[in-house]
Structure 1
Amino acid sequence: MSLVDQAGSHVVIVSCNVEPGHLAWAQSNFRIRVWDRRQLEEELNRLPSGHTGLMGRFAKFFHEVAEVEYVGELARNIAETPYSLEAETGRLSVSGAPASFTAGKEDPLYEGTRLRNKLAAIPPGREHAKAYEAVIQEIVFYLFGRFLVDPKPQSRTEEGLDILDIVYRVRAGHPFWDTLTRDFRTRAIIFECKNYSDGITPNQIYSTERYVNVSALRSVCFLVSRKEPQENAELAAFGAMREGGKLFVLLHDKHLAEMLDIRQTQVRQETDAGTPVRDFSNDPSEVLDQVIYDFLTRVAR
């Protein structure tokens, strides 16, 4: 069902829980608000006490849906789960939850969540720069490990900080990376990590630009930082693109979190399907593609 909230935005209400990556994508691309089960429960809890009847009906409905979902998940993991079927009642008795129900930090189905938490736990600042760079390398491997290969970390000093540039070779087979390397004539992709407390400034673009070399087929740099870049930093990136054909893709923690959510959903779907075939229509590269598209459409003549 749908309605219009007080701010005039269309609200779409669904009875299931929606993966965070899908939720963010739908709200961003269709200019709507989506209330999944979690959000709807929060909204119901804000209602005055006179609406207890409505809250009770939704609570019963959610409970029934949860039971159906549990049995469905159990069926997919039945080989790993101790269970018995009661002859008289037909009830399914479970002596332990399926392994996929437990969000253990070693569970590959929750690797995206683990990396999100690990990234969020690193404070910004020079003393944590190496830890941040290491997590970025972990995240890139999780998101695109089969396609961005042979990482070559290179230590150097800039403004008193030890900065680790990571250079990747692109392996063919991923539509996004194949298109990017073709359109920008690049063989290597640079990831520059900035664990700064504030958004990056034009200085970070200027100092990194000398490492981005069109003639050496190294024309693309993903500049990753903790917060949104300052406005003038984007102007510097426009200049690098317009004058030298060098593409700077400015990413920050929110982009990484969104991509991790999408990849985690992707991994779960691959696991449920029992095949490692990747669904490129639901891929974290969609976030990168959108960022690059938005950037290119605003580059002046």
Structure 2
Amino acid sequence: MENLRYYQKEAVENIYEFFKSDKCKAKMYISTGLGKTLIIAVAIQTILKNNNASILILSSRSMLCKQIKAAVFQMIEYVNIATHVRELKEQKILITTYQDVIKNRLNFSRFDFMICDEAQFLKKESCLKLLNIEHIKALGVLQNLESSEDWFYDAECLYTYTTKDAVKDGYSGYITEREFIERFLIKLLDYQGYKNILREVSISNEPKSSMRADIVAEKDKKIVLEVKSYRNLYNSKIILNNALKQILQYKQIMLSNNLAEKISFVIVMPCEIDEDSQREIFDRFDVEIWDIRNLIYLCEENKELLQLLTSCIPYSTLEVEAKKPINIKVETNDITIDEETISYVEVFQEKLEKCRLGRLDNADKKYEIICTEIIKYLFDTEFFKISEQHKTDDEMFRMDLLCSLKGTTEFWKFLITFYHTKFVVFEYKNYSDYISQNLIYITEKYLFPVALRNVAFIISRKGFDSNAQKASLGCLKESGKLIISSDDNDLIKMIYMKENGEEPSDYLLDKVEQILMSVSK
């Protein structure tokens, strides 16, 4: 558990204490993207290490079951897992969907402990009729803090960690960057002779400070690295400036605490940054940038490392030329951050929290305005034209927001290339409950292949329910129309990414890839 974040450790410890207790039902809230799959896997490892228990793990989608299974295999070397009720024999672990256990009438009495992932889909009345789960020790892992009639509604809450908590603690919840650091960058630093390589190191003397450098290591002197992971070769100047502002904040704090003497500050960005920009930043701020060309240079004599880097990069590096990093200091100016520091995460999060659910007092209109502001902030440079409350020529359909695409970054190029779309539709729903399948069919009517309008985003407070998920997959399979769900948590995560120098559309690309990987014939 030493590599877990503090909240992940606390969640695992609470799960294990619940397993040892005489309580029968409990729940915890872990927002999507904050490592709930890892928490479940480590909890299973901890339980099996100390007990000869039989464990049932249920989720709403087979794709999530596969993710949990893969995580458990990483935690436990020798474990026999069943992934379907019909293949269950002597295995101690069954990881499957709610639909599977209902359809094949699973005997729950053979299990000691049950973990229900995405437990918000377990509605109270229907599940009590179909699932014999009243007399089993059951833990529900839910995404959002809410008052609903799910089966775990009256259960004791063991632990809560939401996107808002993650933002306060300095976590984005996006794992690609973490994987890049752990799979490649730490090995590169070790190969280059760095010692005492530490992850997520506090850069302040204040014990409760949430500002942490991704990596601190030592060679001739100490080096502080801030890592920004991207899914395309080129990124905008804005992204670079945001990453620079963040590491300059670290440097200011360390200077004020007399910690920055004889320390190198490096931004690691696995995309291409032009040499003029690198030189300007180094000359002015004494901050190095290691872009993809520099990373290739640093590991090109080690074939294993070079292959590892290539496997971590989602674009081809065949045409990328190796370049030595800029490490000669010419002139250093005082550290200044020209722009006033504004936390857009806090600004938009406060707006979303103050916007009440439903239509009373025009709350739906207020939510629409907030969402449009967020979309423009996140992707304004990606859109050529933006039309609010756009009507079709026959005035039969009115879309909250219609945008034409430039196709600069990987996600939007992906939509243009594979979904033959030039325009994307955004619909906002300020509902107090999950989005139902009816709204999917209504939104589908807005999409029209001849008009190059094949992709829609439905932005809501809580996302799709299980039937809406099935309906959106049905639209994709039957007509090739892509309808994507985004909720408040998704918006906050993307704002956090942009504010911290990351590309927010990478988050959407990851979401779409997960959808496509779950599609059956």
Question: With structure 2 as the length reference, what TM-score do the two structures score?
Answer: 0.38
Question: What is the CA RMSD across the aligned residues, in angstroms?
Answer: 3.9
Going from structure 1 to structure 2, the CA distance change for 1:36 and 1:248 (only over 3 Å counts) comes to farther
Show structure 1 runs of 4+ deviating over 3 A.
3-10, 26-30, 34-38, 69-76, 106-109
Give 3-state SS (helix, strand or coil) of 1:2's partner.
coil
State which of 340, 355, 362 in structure 2 corresponds to 1:122: 355
Establish whether residue 19 from structure 1 lines up as the match of residue 170 from structure 2. Answer: yes
Map 1:89-168 to 2 at 5 A.
107=340, 109-126=342-359, 127-154=362-389, 165-168=400-403
| Separation in structure 2 between the aligned mates of residue 225 and residue 294 of structure 1, nearest angstrom | 19
Higher relative contact order (CA 8 A, sep 6+): 1
Q: Aligned residue for 2:508?
A: 288
Map 1:261-276 to 2 at 5 A.
261-266=496-501
Going from structure 1 to structure 2, the CA distance change for 1:258 and 1:215 (only over 3 Å counts) comes to same
Q: Aligned residue for 2:520?
A: 300
Q: CA deviation at 1:236?
A: 0.3
Whichever of the two has the greater Rg, that structure is 2
Q: CA deviation at 1:25?
A: 1.6
The count of aligned residue pairs is 224
| Separation in structure 2 between the aligned mates of residue 295 and residue 193 of structure 1, nearest angstrom | 20
Q: CA deviation at 1:180?
A: 1.5
Contact 1:188 1:218 (C-alpha < 8 Å) held by counterparts: yes
| Separation in structure 2 between the aligned mates of residue 133 and residue 251 of structure 1, nearest angstrom | 14
Contact 2:383 2:405 (C-alpha < 8 Å) held by counterparts: yes
**Which sections of structure 2, spanning at least 5 residues, go unmatched?**
17-41, 46-167, 183-198, 209-250, 262-280, 282-334, 392-396
**Percentage identity across aligned positions?**
26
**Which sections of structure 1, spanning at least 5 residues, go unmatched?**
11-16, 43-64, 77-97, 101-105, 157-161, 267-281
Could you list the per-position Cα deviations for residues 120-166 of structure 1 after superposition, in whole angstroms to 9, with x for gaps in the alignment? 2211112311111111111111111111232112268xxxxx98520
Going from structure 1 to structure 2, the CA distance change for 1:74 and 1:223 (only over 3 Å counts) comes to farther
Q: Aligned residue for 2:292?
A: none
| Separation in structure 1 between the aligned mates of residue 473 and residue 464 of structure 2, nearest angstrom | 13
Q: Aligned residue for 2:254?
A: 68
Give 3-state SS (helix, strand or coil) of 2:451's partner.
coil
Going from structure 1 to structure 2, the CA distance change for 1:70 and 1:149 (only over 3 Å counts) comes to farther
Aligned residue identity for 1:25: Y
Give 3-state SS (helix, strand or coil) of 1:191's partner.
strand
Give 3-state SS (helix, strand or coil) of 2:519's partner.
coil
More deviation, 236-245/132-141 = 132-141
| Separation in structure 2 between the aligned mates of residue 188 and residue 250 of structure 1, nearest angstrom | 17
Q: CA deviation at 1:41?
A: 5.5
Could you list the per-position Cα deviations for residues 78-99 of structure 1 after superposition, in whole angstroms to 9, with x for gaps in the alignment? xxxxxxxxxxxxxxxxxxxx99
Contact 2:410 2:506 (C-alpha < 8 Å) held by counterparts: no
State which of 407, 410, 421 in structure 2 corresponds to 1:175: 410
Q: CA deviation at 1:243?
A: 0.3
Establish whether residue 230 from structure 1 lines up as the match of residue 465 from structure 2. Answer: yes
| Separation in structure 2 between the aligned mates of residue 257 and residue 168 of structure 1, nearest angstrom | 21
Contact 2:399 2:446 (C-alpha < 8 Å) held by counterparts: no
Contact 1:20 1:258 (C-alpha < 8 Å) held by counterparts: no
Aligned residue identity for 1:19: G
Q: Aligned residue for 2:442?
A: 207
Give 3-state SS (helix, strand or coil) of 1:193's partner.
strand
Aligned residue identity for 1:237: S
Give 3-state SS (helix, strand or coil) of 1:149's partner.
strand
| Separation in structure 2 between the aligned mates of residue 176 and residue 246 of structure 1, nearest angstrom | 16
| Separation in structure 1 between the aligned mates of residue 341 and residue 430 of structure 2, nearest angstrom | 27
Aligned residue identity for 1:142: Y
Could you list the per-position Cα deviations for residues 89-118 of structure 1 after superposition, in whole angstroms to 9, with x for gaps in the alignment? xxxxxxxxx997xxxxx9464223312221
Give 3-state SS (helix, strand or coil) of 2:174's partner.
helix
| Separation in structure 2 between the aligned mates of residue 193 and residue 72 of structure 1, nearest angstrom | 49
| Separation in structure 2 between the aligned mates of residue 73 and residue 192 of structure 1, nearest angstrom | 49
| Separation in structure 1 between the aligned mates of residue 258 and residue 426 of structure 2, nearest angstrom | 41
Q: Aligned residue for 2:2?
A: 2
Going from structure 1 to structure 2, the CA distance change for 1:29 and 1:244 (only over 3 Å counts) comes to farther
Going from structure 1 to structure 2, the CA distance change for 1:246 and 1:2 (only over 3 Å counts) comes to same
Give 3-state SS (helix, strand or coil) of 2:424's partner.
strand
Q: Aligned residue for 1:193?
A: 428
Structure with the higher helix share, 1 or 2: 1
